[in-house]
């Protein structure tokens, strides 16, 4: 089984691939499908398998540290570094960024920053940047900028699933970009969303639909 089929099979197995509803993603964009990555992290062995896939993809690259964004990226960063260390027979470090709590921006606009002094372990290191999912690539680009500001050299960027390869690629990201798999899910701004126009109820149990509706109610209050 190739990597793309394997990662899709894992997500299906844990019930993470959802369709036929009206979802709102972290970016605020509306989608008819959703990948509930949180269900993957309930299963340590499955998360380890995904980390192994990342590691195998980049085992021939000179990677010294893996960086991912909290929360999901932290788990994948740990497992990827673990498997890379075994494959390369030397220690590969793992760290993560966190959202800047000092900003009032939305989740899609908040900055990714290093805390706990982790930036000093990134300086002058060859870095593999990983992320679980991407729709617009904005979060990934912010993560890359943070790594570069810390003095790290981005060798490659890889996401578990790319939901829009036409929009998110090496050219748009500004670094060598890869994905373990592709699950194309169209996404829309609220004003252009056909699901909104068809009055399909927003799913509030998965994704950011509940927060979206709460924010909308505040604006309309």
3-state secondary structure labels for all residues of 84-132: HHHHHCCCCEEEEEEECCCCCCCCCCCCEECCCCCHHHHCCCEEEEEEE
Beta bridge partners of 66: 94, 128
What residue ranges in the chain does DSSP mark as E strands? 17-18, 23-24, 30-31, 34-35, 65-69, 93-99, 112-113, 126-134, 153-162, 177-182
- What 3-state class would DSSP assign to 164? coil
pLDDT band at 26 (very low <50, low <70, confident <90, very high): confident
Residue-wise over 52-85: b if at least 16 C-beta within 10 A, else e?
bbbbebbeeeebbbbbbbeebbbbbbbbbbbbbb
CATH class in words for 3-208: alpha beta
pLDDT averaged over the chain?
91
Quick: pLDDT tens for 186-216.
Answer: 899 999 999 999 999 999 998 899 999 998 8
Separation between Cα atoms, residue 63 and residue 58, nearest integer Å: 8
- Of 71, 12, 54, the C-alpha closest to 36 is 12
d(CA 80, CA 75): 9
pLDDT band (50, 70, 90) for residue 149: very high
Measured distance CA(155)–CA(173) in Å, rounded: 13
pLDDT above 70 for 27: yes
Query: Would you list the domain boundaries of the chain?
Result: 3-208
Residues paired with 65 in a beta bridge: 93, 127
66 vs 221, which has greater pLDDT? Answer: 66
Residues paired with residue 112 on neighbouring β-strands, in sequence order: 99
Mean pLDDT of 58-83: 96
Strand, coil or helix: what is 16?
coil
């Amino acid at each position: 089984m190739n990597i793309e089929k394997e990662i899709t099979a894992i997500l299906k197995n844990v019930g993470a691939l959802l369709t036929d509803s009206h979802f709102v993603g972290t970016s605020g964009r509306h989608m008819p499908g959703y990948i509930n990555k949180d269900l993957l992290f309930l299963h340590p062995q499955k998360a380890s398998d995904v980390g192994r896939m990342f590691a195998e993809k980049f085992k021939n690259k000179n990677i010294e540290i893996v960086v991912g964004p909290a929360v999901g990226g932290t788990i994948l960063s740990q497992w990827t570094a673990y498997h890379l260390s075994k494959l390369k027979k030397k220690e590969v470090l793992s760290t993560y960024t966190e959202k800047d709590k000092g900003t009032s921006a939305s989740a899609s606009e908040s900055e990714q920053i290093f805390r706990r002094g982790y930036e000093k372990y990134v300086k002058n290191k060859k870095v593999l940047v990983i992320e679980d999912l991407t729709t617009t690539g904005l979060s990934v680009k912010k993560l890359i900028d943070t790594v570069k500001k810390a003095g790290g050299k981005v060798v490659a960027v890889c996401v578990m699933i790319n939901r829009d390869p036409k929009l998110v690629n090496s050219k748009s990201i500004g670094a060598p970009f890869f994905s373990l798999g592709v699950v194309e899910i169209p996404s829309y701004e609220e004003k252009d969303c056909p699901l909104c126009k068809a009055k399909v109820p927003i799913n509030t149990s998965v994704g950011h639909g509940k927060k979206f509706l709460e924010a909308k109610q505040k604006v309309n209050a």
